[in-house]
Amino acid sequence: METDNRPVSFLRSRKLIRVIAFLLVLVLLLAGSSALIRPKGYEAYDIETVDIKLQQMSSEKDGSIDVIFAGDSELLYAFSPLQLWGEYGMTSYIISSGGQKICDTYEILTQVFLHHSPKAVVLDGNSFYRDGSIYLEEDDKLLETAERIFPVFHYHTRYKTLPLPGVLMSFTNHRKNQELYKGWLDVRRIEPYTGPADYMGAPDTPKEPIPEASVEYLDRILALCREHDCALFIEDVPSSANWSYARHNAVEEWANAHGVDYLDLNLLNGEIGIDWSTDTRDRGDHLNFYGSLKLSDYMGRLLQEKYALADHRGDAFYGNWQADFERAGLYGTTADLTTEKVYARAADTSDADVAGPEAGKEDGDGV
Amino acid sequence: MGYNAIGYLAVFLPAVILIYSLVPQKKRWIVVLAANYLFFYLLSGFLLLYNVAATLFTYYMGKLLGAKKPEGADKKAFKKKKNKILLAAILVNFGVLIVLKYTNFFGSSIAGIINHFGGDVRYRAIRFLVPIGISYYTMQAVSYLIDVNRGTLKVENNLAQLALYLSYFPTIMEGSITRYKDVAEDIYAGHPVTYENLTAGYQRIVWGLFKKVIIADILVKPVIKIFEGFQYDGAVCLYGAAICTLQLYMDFAGTIDIVIGTGKIFNVTIAENFRQPFFAKNASEFWRRWHITLGTWFKDYIFYPISVAKPIRNLTKKAQKRFGKGFAKFVTPSIALLGVWMANGFWHGPRWTYIFYGVYYYVMILLELLLERPLEIVSEKLHFSIDGIPFRIFRFVKLFFIVIIGEMLFTADTLTEGFRMLHSIFTNFSLRSLWANKSFFGMSGYEYIVVFFAVLVVLIYNTMREFRIPFEEKFAKLPEAVRWCGWLLLLFAVIMFGAYGPGYDAVAMIYAGF
């Protein structure tokens, strides 16, 4: 029989079965890898961040954390758990990262509550305004669909949570010390904010609505806290670049409607003593070490009073906290942490790294 | 939607393949044309009309240029008339491109010059909407018209075939810049999508994804961070120059792999655009291996016409009489190359950095040309072989630096910033500073490992290609299961390590701004 050498469409060829078989194998592998890579018991928009946070926290003894701070990069530089320990003997942890969405905050909290019974969760309002849903891909709806069908497309960055040798870890500067500092980041850079002091605008500015997806997660966080007998406390870290009455009013409305305490620290800049010429690392966007000294002092006192937090200094169960406090060497001894001395320390900016022409350098707001 | 988007790879392209294959061969060109226009519309909306208008205009002009000389008419006069028509057609085609993309550049530059001399004018930019691929399809249209006028190409009477060529969806965004005679017939023919072409095509696509989505897309963030924040740190700038070159190479070459792979599926042979450029001996050869189709376009339509032009030949003769052959032989290439490199710089876009880029390579290549003979003499006198290993290493290092410095100046936001970076390389070079700042480049240790190994894989494969080691042949002999594993491994590497999704901002395709 003469073989026909004309090219044949793959649809009419016997080899079509191979195409179908290959696609089936591909689908199976996508499904299988998705099942393997998905986290068990929680989800995440940015799994790398969430898993690193959980990894960092896992070195704390179960049941040892009194207060959880959660939000985005605003919080990351603002409250120092080691200072709170040194000054008040309270234990806290920061589960924030740059650009963290509230859906990830919720997911992290679900896992945190499995190991700890904090008295309060302190949530920063700025993170409410980042549209938060797990699979959201604003620029690529088809990719979003692919991620929902085969979560391997969504969770593939999880490979970045595997352990790496030290020298390679040093490429990710912001992870250095973060575990020691209990989630806080130490930034000595000063880039003053020189704009108007009343950046908040007029008190009767119409509300800027909180995105729907974020409200959903707020409700879930509240329910989670209530379920675990934990108070929810909303605050806003002073930030001339991010906060305003428009947002304040919206958050206050939600807080009042749900019986949740809300304190906008932006309205207490004077009382706290925020000095915009020294306390910000990037022209009012985020605070720095000097701002954090003041804010931690203020917030620690407030939280200890409000939630009757015990002073754990001297308690053997919290031995690692004193050890970590001393190892970090940031604050001297606990005797150096009186309010007076803290503010004096904040005024001494001789060890600051004043921003030079390399303005693009960032100390990583990330994990 | 770029060529690496899931929308293209898993929806658009398979849909086109399926519909194309279900339709009888004679009607397949309609499917392709519809796909072309749909793709164009998805990217540029109603600006599609620019492409359609260019097609109709080029078709009509083509018919004029391809007309046979009427009996009794004077040959020379007829030729002259056609050349005038050709010139008009070229001016219109390029005119549209120039108005849309360069008006603001000219306006603000002229305002700048006036202000420099004491004036006080402000140029207000006009917001032009620029259709996708205009730089590419305009080049293709003009190549068609010139070839018809030269008589090397038969005029196309089938409007559909010309339309297909000028709007072809695989090449519309980033090239390759194809020639009519190489692709037009095959695009129109509606060849069946065979199993062999389907698999070979998608394999090429996956290889392209490996380069672009892993290597190029991971490097986008560090390139931006270095160019914006470290202009005064010499070692960082040099490192930035190297990675911006790697980024651009992997982005462009990877995208071209996807483009060629797509063509392959439909049995359309789209020209290669890269041929292991870093194996080149010098800058001149580099540009015969990098963005090849741009180079050949300039060679055929700028270099060659200038070289054979009467005024240039006369100039060479005069130079020969006055200064001798040794000098005169550089007259033609000097002028022709100037034309080519001004065009190259300009083609890349309305920015001084691009124009300087053209000047930069003009100088480099001219220098290489002028130093060719002196180099031979020196190598004889000093008894070293220019083909020996030590000299080849020297040549590679020299080329490497020429290329990365060029790309650094190309990538910088402004010429001032580019020169600032260049200056800092010579005045503030500190490896310690580079190491101290490594965590600010937006690239984690994991990504360094991924990029390192991915580059290694590409390097090994490219080396095999350069030395004509028939990898594909040997691979084809392996058992089917092994081959499937290989491709699935490659695909899963892209899925696992690719720079997409949470943590990675949308990466615009670099060469698609043209």
As a three-state string, the secondary structure of chain A is CCCCCCCCCHHHCCCHHHHHHHHHHHHHHHHHHHHHHCCCCCCCCCHHHHHHHHHHHCCCCCCCCCEEEEECHHHHCCCCHHHHHHHHCCCEEEEECCCCCHHHHHHHHHHHCCCCCCCEEEEEHHHHHCCCCCCCCCCCHHHHHHHHHCCHHHHHHHHHHCCCCHHHHCCCHHHCCCCCCCCCCCCCEECCCCCCCCCCCCCCCCCCCCCHHHHHHHHHHHHHHHHCCCEEEEEECCCCCCCCHHHHHHHHHHHHHCCCEEEEHHHHHHHHCCCCCCCECCCCCCECHHHHHHHHHHHHHHHHHHCCCCCCCCCHHHHHHHHHHHHHCCCCCHHHCCHHHHHHHHHCCCCCEECCCCCCCCCCCCC
Smallest CA-to-CA distance from A366 within A142, A131, A100 is with A100
Asked whether the beta carbons of residue A46 and residue B502 sit closer than 8 angstroms, the reply is: yes
Say which of B230, B445, B488 has its CB closest to residue A168. Answer: B445
**Which of the four pLDDT bands, split at 50, 70 and 90, describes residue B509?**
very low
Q: What is the pLDDT of residue A205?
A: 92
The one-character DSSP state at B271 is P
Q: At residue A199, does pLDDT exceed 50?
A: yes
pLDDT at A11 over 70: yes
pLDDT digits (tens, 9 = 90+) for B248-287: 999 999 999 999 999 999 999 999 999 999 999 999 999 9
Query: What pLDDT sits at residue B91?
Result: 95
Is the pLDDT confidence value at B510 over 50?
Answer: no
Which residues in chain A touch residue B445, judged by CB atoms under 8 angstroms apart?
A: 164, 167-172
User: What pLDDT does residue A336 have?
Assistant: 83
Q: What's the pLDDT score for residue A174?
A: 61
Q: Closest CB to A9: pick one of B194, B501, B506.
A: B194
Report the pLDDT value the prediction gives residue B324, as an integer from 0 to 100: 85
Which chain B residue lies closest to A153 (C-alpha atoms)?
Answer: B495
Residue in B20, B27, B195, B500 to test binding to A, most A beta-carbons within 10 Å: B195
- Strand-pair partners of B290: B274
Residue B145 has pLDDT above 90, yes or no: yes
Answer yes or no: is pLDDT of A1 > 80.
no
Q: In the structure, what pLDDT confidence band is assigned to residue B69 with cuts at 50, 70 and 90?
A: confident
**In angstroms, rounded to a whole number, what is the distance separating the alpha carbons of residues A122 and A262?**
10
Cβ <8 Å between B229 and A29: no
Identify the pLDDT of residue B436: 84
- Cα–Cα nearest to A288, from A57, A73, A71: A73
**Distance between CA atoms of A64 and A312, rounded to whole angstroms?**
10
> Chain centroid to CA A315: how far?
29
**How far apart are the C-alpha atoms of B5 and B213, rounded to whole Å?**
10
Helix (H, G, I), strand (E, B) or coil at B290: strand
Residue A360 has pLDDT above 50, yes or no: no
Task: State the DSSP code for B274.
Answer: B
What is the band of B323 on the pLDDT scale with cuts at 50, 70, 90?
confident
The whole-angstrom separation of Cα B463 and Cα B314 is 45
Cβ-Cβ contacts under 8 Å for B79 (sequence gap 6 or more): none
- What single-letter amino acid sits at B144? Y
What letter does residue B270 receive in the DSSP assignment?
A: P
User: Which residues lie below 8 Å from residue A129, measured CB to CB, with a gap of 6+?
Assistant: A208, A210, A211, A214, A247
H/E element, B383: none
Does A166 touch chain B if contact means CB atoms closer than 8 Å?
A: no
Q: What per-residue confidence (pLDDT) applies to A161?
A: 86
Residue B365 has pLDDT above 60, yes or no: yes
Reported as half-sphere exposure (CB side, CA atoms, 13 A), residue B207 has a value of 20
Q: What percent of chain B has pLDDT over 90?
A: 75
Distance CA A85, CA B144 (A): 77
Phi, psi at residue B425, to the nearest 5°? -60, -35
- Which of A46, A53, A37, A52 has the alpha carbon at shortest distance from A161? A52
pLDDT of residue A169: 78
For B439, the closest of A48, A146, A172 (CB atoms) is: A172
CB B300, CB B178: distance < 8 Å: no
CA-based nearest residue in chain B for residue A161:
B446
Instruction: Report the pLDDT value the prediction gives residue A175, as an integer from 0 to 100.
Output: 67
Per-residue model confidence (pLDDT) at position B209: 97
Specify the higher pLDDT residue, A4 or A90.
A90
Confidence of residue A2 (pLDDT cuts 50, 70, 90): very low
Q: Of B228, B449, B501, which is closest to A168 when you measure between CB atoms?
A: B449
How far is CA A121 from each of CA A78, A225, A266, rounded to the nearest angstrom?
15, 8, 19
Nearest CA in chain A to B488: A26
Residue B117's pLDDT is 87
Asked if A169 and B445 come within 8 Å (Cβ–Cβ), the reply is yes
Question: Do B292 and B275 touch, CB atoms closer than 8 A?
Answer: yes
The answer, yes or no, to whether residue A365 has pLDDT greater than 60, is: no
Confidence class of residue A68 from pLDDT cuts 50, 70 and 90?
Answer: very high
B172 has pLDDT over 90: yes
Which range (A63-72, A148-157, A173-182, B416-425) has the least confidence?
A173-182
Mean pLDDT of all residues in B220-238: 92
Report the residue of A49, A51, A358, A362 to disrupt the B interface, i.e. the one with the largest count of B CBs within 10 Å. A358
A245 contact B CB<8A: no
CB nearest to B195's CB, from A10, A142, A357 = A10
**What pLDDT score does B514 carry?**
53
Task: Please indicate if any CB of chain B lies within 8 Å of the CB of A19.
Answer: yes
Matching residue, tokens 């006009």: B126
The total of other beta-carbon atoms located within 10 Å of residue B68's CB is 8
Chain A residues touching B225 at Cβ < 8 A = 360
Task: Read off the pLDDT band of A366 (50, 70, 90).
Answer: very low
Residue A277, chain B, CB below 8 Å: the answer is no
Residue type, A54: L
- For residue A351, the model assigns a pLDDT of 85
Q: Flag if B491 and A159 touch (Cβ within 8 Å).
A: no
Copy the structure tokens of residue B292: 């090849």
B194 touches chain A (CB under 8 A): yes
Least confident of A30-44, A167-181, B172-186, B369-383: A167-181
Residue A358 predicted with pLDDT over 80? no
How far, in Å, CA of B193 to CA of A23, rounded?
17
**Is the predicted pLDDT of residue B503 greater than 70, yes or no?**
yes
Round to whole Å and give the CA distance between A297 and A79.
9
Residue B436 to chain A, least CA–CA distance (Å): 10
**Phi, psi (5° rounding) for residue A280?**
-120, 145
- CB contact under 8 Å between A142 and B5, yes or no, is yes
pLDDT at A233: 97
Contacts of A282 in chain B (CB under 8 A): none
Min distance B6 CA to chain A CA atoms (Å) = 6
Does the pLDDT at position B363 exceed 90? yes
- Which residue on chain A is closest to B24 by alpha carbon? A9
What ipTM was predicted for this assembly? 0.87
Cα A79 vs. chain centroid, distance in angstroms? 12
Q: What is the pLDDT of residues B103-140, one digit of tens each?
A: 999 998 899 889 888 888 888 888 899 999 999 999 99
Distance from CA of B446 to the nearest CA of A (A): 6
pLDDT digits (tens, 9 = 90+) for B290-308: 999 999 999 999 999 999 9
**CB-based contact A10 B497, cutoff 8 Å:** no
| Contact with chain B for residue A161, Cβ under 8 A | no
Residue B472 is predicted with a pLDDT of: 82
Average pLDDT over residues B319-326: 86
Of A15, A46, A170, the CB nearest to B195: A15
How far is A232 from chain B, CA to nearest CA, in Å?
28
What pLDDT is recorded for position A131?
80
Contact with chain A for residue B135, Cβ under 8 A: no
**Chain B environment of A137 (Cβ under 8 Å):** 501
Write out the two tokens for A122: 């302190």
Average pLDDT, chain A: 90
Point out the residue among A18, A146, A157 whose CB comes nearest to the CB of B6: A146
Lowest mean pLDDT among A118-132, A204-218, B189-203, B499-513: B499-513
pLDDT at position A70 = 95
Q: What is the pLDDT of residue B175?
A: 85
| The pLDDT of residue B507 is above 80 | no
Average pLDDT, stretch B353-368? Answer: 95
pLDDT, position B493: 96
Q: Where are the alpha helices (DSSP H) in B190-233?
A: 195-209, 217-229
